[in-house]
Amino acid sequence: MNETAAATPTELDAAASALAAIVAEIRKVVAGQQAVIDDALTGLVAGGHVLVEGVPGLGKTLLVKALARAIGGTFARIQFTPDLMPSDVTGHTLYDPSSGKFVTREGPVFAHFVIADEINRAPAKTQAALLEVMQEAQVTIEGEAHVLAQPFMVFATQNPIEHEGTYPLPDAQLDRFLLNAYITYPSAEDEVALTRQVTTATVGDRLSVDAVAAVVDPARVSRLQSLATRLVVDDRVLDYAVRLARATRDNAALAHGAGPRASIALVRAARARALIGARGFATPDDVKSVAHPVLRHRVSVTPELEIEGRGPDSVIDDLLAQVEAPRL
């Protein structure tokens, strides 16, 4: 079949079933947090990276490990620290006395899913090493290019409260992330379920993903990503996404707006949401549903609004109310 052909109902149903199965497996170990699970799945289908913000202990690493296990992918975690070197991320060559040759030791980025924990604690040079890998999907070690296995996805985390000893990501680097997901405190009901799960027949407080089974494989995920690119985006929906992104650029409440990459990200993420919903076309509601995670890290509010306690999400709410959505 021609790759540009429209997705068939059979393909859409099979894709939605596979994605629902992934969520069901994640749900075995993650209580609540539906919004961040939706954003993680959207990033997976759209083939983009996700920046997750939240205070420590809310299950960011657990979510990524569960997602990796559900698709039978490999997982690596990098704890970013001020003394972390670029080679600690990408890998390096070393001399092997037994063979008399230099051999390549692959770094932790050689995995399907990489969690970059507290990415803003490493200096700019190390941050840039990871972000280059994210952009190119390959690693260059001693002049030799190593292509990464697909799918390749980075989940980077930041603590929004603690800023001492951090190196904030520049706007140009933040723009490399398709989505900026917020993970919040669980509801009382979800916290009861989580506490019961962790304290029943377990020693210590280690959160295990042993209950999660692989329901798809990485090759299947790559096919899902290709299928998402074939979903229809009506010109009016595309125009709506562009108008939303452009509306951030002349807004008095924002110190700076989002660039063209935001328009592209809105369409990519909207397609992913459509596939999750077993639809062969993206709607204005799909664009609205991803507007906050796509735009919040690409804009910054004025100091005056910060003093008032307003953040990017409140301005995005205003934009969604002001920019007219098309009726299909």
Question: What six digits make up the tokens of 19?
Answer: 């994605």
Written in H, E and C, the secondary structure of 198-251 is HHCCCCCCCCCCCCCCCCCCHHHHHHHHHHHCCCECCHHHHHHHHHHHHHCCCC
Least confident window among 17-26, 58-67, 252-261: 58-67
Q: What is the largest CA-CA distance in the chain?
A: 69
Angle between helices 312-322 and 284-295 (to 10 degrees): 160
11 pLDDT band, cuts 50/70/90, is very high
Tens digits of per-residue pLDDT, 81-133?
A: 889 998 888 888 777 787 777 777 888 999 998 888 888 888 888 888 888 88
Predicted local confidence at residue 187, as pLDDT = 83
Where are the domains positioned within the chain? Answer: 231-328
Please give the C-alpha separations between residue 27 and each of 34, 109, 170, 318, in angstroms, as whole numbers: 9, 26, 34, 33
Length of the chain: 328
Q: At residue 279, what is the residue type?
A: R
Angle at the Cα of 29 from the Cα atoms of 118 and 120, rounded to 5 degrees:
5
Distance CA 310, CA 318 (A): 12
Residue 118: strand, helix, or coil: coil
Cis peptide before 151 (omega within 30 of 0): yes
State how far the Cα of 95 lies from the Cα of 88, in Å rounded to an integer: 17
Contact in structure between 71 and 221 (CB atoms under 8 Å): yes
Rounded CA separation 285/36 (Å): 18
DSSP 270-317: HHHHHHHTT-SB--HHHHHHHHHHHHTTT-EE-HHHHHTT--HHHHHH
Asked whether the predicted pLDDT for residue 256 surpasses 70, the reply is yes
Question: Is 155 in contact with 64 (CB distance < 8 Å)?
Answer: yes
Asked if the model's pLDDT at residue 325 lies above 60, the reply is yes
pLDDT confidence bin for 207, thresholds 50/70/90: low
Amino acid 201: pLDDT: 54
Report percent pLDDT > 70 for the chain.
Answer: 94
Average pLDDT over the chain, rounded to an integer: 87
The predicted pLDDT at position 158 comes to 82
Determine contact, residues 243/19, Cβ cutoff 8 Å. Answer: no
For residue 6, name the pLDDT band (cuts at 50, 70, 90).
Answer: confident
At residue 161, the pLDDT reads 60
- Considering only CA atoms, which of 304, 324, 313 is closest in space to residue 253? 304
Mean pLDDT of 276-298: 96
Q: What is the pLDDT of residues 47-85, one digit of tens each?
A: 999 999 887 777 788 888 888 889 888 888 899 888 999
Output the pLDDT for position 105: 82
Q: State yes or no: pLDDT of 1 exceeds 50.
A: no
State whether CATH 3.40.50.970 applies to domain 231-328: no
C-alpha to C-alpha distance for 52 and 43, rounded to whole angstroms = 11
Phi, psi dihedral angles at 181 (to 5 degrees): -95, 140
CB atoms within 10 A of CB 328: 10
Task: Write the CB contacts of 166 (distance below 8 Å, at least 6 apart in sequence).
Answer: 118, 120, 121
For residue 184, what are its two tokens? 């919040």
Q: pTM for the whole thing?
A: 0.88
Is residue 287 a contact partner of residue 237, using CB atoms and an 8 Å limit?
Answer: yes
